[in-house]
Each structure stands twice: as structure tokens, then as C-alpha cells.
Amino acid sequence: MNPVVKTRYGEVRGSVADGVNTFKGIPYAAPPFGANRLRTPRPVVPWSGVRDALTYGPKSPQVPYPPPIDLFIPELTKPGKDCLNLNIWTAALGSARQPVMVWIPGGMFEFHATGASPWYDGSRFARDGIVCVSINYRVGAEGFLYLGDGIANLGLLDQVAALEWVRENIAAFGGDPGNVTIFGESAGAISVGTLLSIPRTEGLFRRAIAQSGAAHQVMSTTAAQRVAQHLAEKLGVASTREAIAAVPVDRVLQAQAKLDADLAACPDPERWGSEVALSMMLWQPVIDGNVIPARPIDAIAAGVAGNIDLMVGTNTDEHRMFLVPGGAIDQITAEALVGAVAAYGLPVEATLAAYRAAHRGASAGDLLAAIQTDWYWRIPAMRLADAHAKRSGSNYMYEFAWRSPQFDGLLGACHALEIPFVFDTLGNGTELLWGTDPPQQLADTMHAAWVAFATNGECGWPKYDLGRRATLRFDITSEVVDDPRFAERALWEGVR
């Protein structure tokens, strides 16, 4: 018999297989359209009767994935109006009070942002005593348009609304609202780092895991308003919320795609602002002084989130995901490499000498991939771990080092490669990223560590502190390494 659970807003009917109850597409906020468009998330309108929660709900409106990301991420849904929804996997309904994990998917704050992927199937977490939740949220202009009118960070507020829904309803699904772990990857991990720092999340979660993302990637109001002005010009309307909300969603998405093309063709800091030109991300959380009072990394360094257990990590070769599949890595010239190093604020000669010494025989493209891995992912993650370690004794660091055999082994341990190992879903989705025979024992190890952390805050390896900086390097044979990125950390001191 299909399970039925009563929430604050009405009853939902899920499905059951192999002892796991699954509920998909449950709304946690009202559809963000009509009068709700470009506004803070509104409460769900209660329903009568039993609502089927058997299929994934729609994702938010968004531009298509850019190459090469469009090759890799499988999804099981399309955009639609009732897009602020979540999914739940649980093996114990009622009063079991199991640990809860809430997954925040990535997508550069412009696409994806949906829990409806076979990679994110939470049934293995449920099998192991966790109530697993995955969420959708708004991206692009619909989620991160900033106009200086007192409304900001709608996509982030969607995430907060989902966490509030979890606090109010998850006990009926067997979860403990007092033992919630948020975890996410890429933009989802940046969301985690940001949620750590903001007042509105007080009491909503106890632990946090940031996979390939940290607490640095935010925009100033000046840069965000500049992007909004460019969008309004593309649309031919005033740069006001009312004017842009009156434009059909499809036209806004077309304008966003044109802005993406403009940025790719000419990433000029004078036009876009340095935050956008360096990150190549038009839509990001904005330090608006209200939702996000200060730069998240600064707030965490000052002691915010000191009571939260934290795990943070990156993959060894993050940026090869963006350079290898389309062959861009072979097109990088020495001049382009020098220009990138200078743009990141690093001393060119010393930096290139250090990276050449660490990557013997590497091409200009290989060196750029290593440097961009550090700029985007590794250095921010290390600084998040450092900032939190100063204020908390519950801190863990990892590095995912297993190299994919795909693309003749050139992908390395690239961005997003760890996700199916964490979820124990290696049999789900595309083989293009990790091949036909990925190591199940590594998935067993990683998945167990995530379960243990969500359960009691312990990962199974030494905690990270500013003396030892112990880091668990996940591979076929995993090992603890002390301060494994000392040279890079020293090189980037004072930068980023």
C-alpha cells in the first residue's frame, strides 16, 4: 500500500520500494508566478484530500546548460510553474526521529537547481537510517535579480523556505528537525557556505557539508545592479521589478542567454564588475545588507556558525571538467595563461614557476586548469575550513582524488565526479563522466562518511585544525594527509 503522510498543508501519497518510502514534488512554497513573480517565496496554499507525490515536480525556468555541462547532468523533469518543490526518501515514517540530510543542487545559479536527477536518488541514504531531502530553487534573474529595491536573493530565500518546511513537517516522515545537515555541490555548496552566515537560518540546521564550493562567491550591490541594467536594456524596459516582471519568462531567458554570450565574448571588468568578469557568473548571491549582511567568509571568520559542524572539500582536478570535453584545454596559449594569472592578482613569474614545478611537463592548458581549480574551488574551501576552525572544534576537510578513465583519463578527478559516490548511485545516470566500472568500494567509503557525519558529527578521520590541517584524500586507497596543499595555500596568501 502506498504510504500517506499528513503535512501542515495537506496529505501526500508516496510510493514504496525495498522498504524505502519516496515522496516527490511536494510544494514547499507557492508557484513564483503571477503576483508572486520576482517576489519572496509565499506560503503553500493548503489542499484538501490526498495529493499524489509520485513523480518529480518541475524545475524553475532557466537557460539551457552550456557545453560541456550539457553532456553530463541527467535530469528527470522540465521547467514548470509549481517549481518550488522538494523530494523525500525515508525508511521510517512517524516518530522515528532519524537524522535528516537536505541536498542543495548546483548549476552556477543559472540552470539545473533541481533535485530531479538520478544522481541524487536518496534511497541509499534512507536505507542507512537517514531521511534524505532534495530541493529545487529559482536561478538566473528569477532567483538572483538585484534592483536595489529591498528585494534580493530570492533563490537563497527559496532554500530557506525549504528548510523551514523541513523543520515544520519532517517529523511526520520519520525525521528529526533538530538534527538536520545541509549539503550541496558547486553552486549548492556556495549556497551552503552562504546559508552558514546569514541570520535567517538560525536553528534550521545543525551540520553542513560543502562539496566544491565555499563562502566567497558573492556579488556587491554595484555589480549586481550593473547586471540588472544590462538585462533591462536587452529587454527594452526600465530597470524596475515591475517592468521586468511584466516581461514573459521566455523573453527574459532569451535575454539572459544573450548576456551570457556577451560576457563570454568580452569579460571586461569595467562593463560587468570584477566579481562577474573573473567568475563568469552573471547571477550570484548579493551582499544586500539584509538577507546577506556581509561577505559570508568574513561573517564565519567573525564567529557566525561556530556552533555548526562542518565538512568541506574539493576534487583534485575540478576545472578539467570545463576544459577537457570540448578540447578547450588544448587551445590555451601561453599568453592566455599569463593573462589569467595576472587577472587573478597573482605574481606571474613566481606563480608559473610554482605550478610548473608541481605539474612537470604540463601544457599551458593543464596549468590553467590547475590554477583555476585553486581560484574557483580549492583556496576558498581551505579558507572556509580555516575560518570555521578558528571558532569551532568540529571541522573536517576532504579531497576527492579518484581519476575518471573517461576522455583517455584526461578528466582527472574533475568537478561533480564525487556526487554519485556520496549518494551511492554509481549505477544511475550517464557513464560518460565516470565510465563503466567505477570503484564501488570508494562509494561505500564516502557514503558511509556522509552518513556518519549527519548522524553524530563524526566522519571517521581526524578533525581539521590550523596546526595539522588533516585532510582525508578519497581514492581507491584513501588516506589522511596533513596540510596537503601547503605550497598552493602559501602562494595564494593575500589573494582572493
Which strand ranges, in their side-by-side order, compose the sheet holding 94-104? 15-17, 20-27, 85-90, 131-135, 94-104, 173-185, 207-211, 309-315, 395-400, 470-474, 479-482
Rounded-to-integer distance, Cα 72 and Cα 56, Å: 20
In sequence order, which residues have a C-beta less than 8 Å from that of residue 225 and are 6 or more positions away?
Answer: 146, 147, 148, 239
**265 contact partners, CB below 8 Å, separation of at least 6:** none
Burial (0-12, 13-18, 19+ Cβ within 10 Å), 307: exposed
Return d(Cα 359, Cα 149) in angstroms, integer: 48
Catalytic residue, chosen from 110, 318, 418, 488, is 318
The closest of 148, 164, 62 to 106, measured between CA atoms, is: 62
Encode 33-63: b = buried (16+ Cβ within 10 Å), e = exposed. beebbbbbbeebeeeeeebebeebbbbbbbb
User: Contact 394/309 with Cβ under 8 angstroms?
Assistant: yes
The helix or strand, by DSSP H or E, that contains position 336, with its residue range, turns out to be: helix 334-343
Q: Catalytic: which of 60, 117, 186, 394?
A: 186
Q: Is 48 a catalytic residue?
A: no
Question: Contact, 192 vs 209, CB < 8 A?
Answer: yes
Which of 85, 96, 94 lies closest to 130 in space, CA to CA?
Answer: 96
Q: What is the DSSP string of 76-88?
A: S--B-SS--EEEE
Q: Which residues pair with 482 in a beta bridge?
A: 470
Residue 387's CB is within 10 A of a number of other CB atoms, namely 27
The cell numbers describing 239, all together, are 530597470
Q: How far apart are CA 210 and CA 395, in angstroms?
A: 12
Residues 6+ apart with CB under 8 A from 124: 423, 424, 425, 447
Nearest of 145, 284, 267, 269 to residue 219 by alpha carbon:
284
363 is catalytic: no
From 142, 415, 447, 478, the catalytic residue: 415
The cell for 487 is: 605550497
Q: Is 186 a catalytic residue?
A: yes
Distance, in Å, from the CA atom of 300 to the CA atom of 194, rounded to the nearest integer, reads: 9
Is residue 94 left, alpha or beta, with left meaning phi > 0 and alpha meaning psi from -120 to 50? left
Q: Characterize the bridge pairing of strands 173-185 and 207-211.
A: parallel
Report the catalytic residues.
Answer: 186, 318, 415
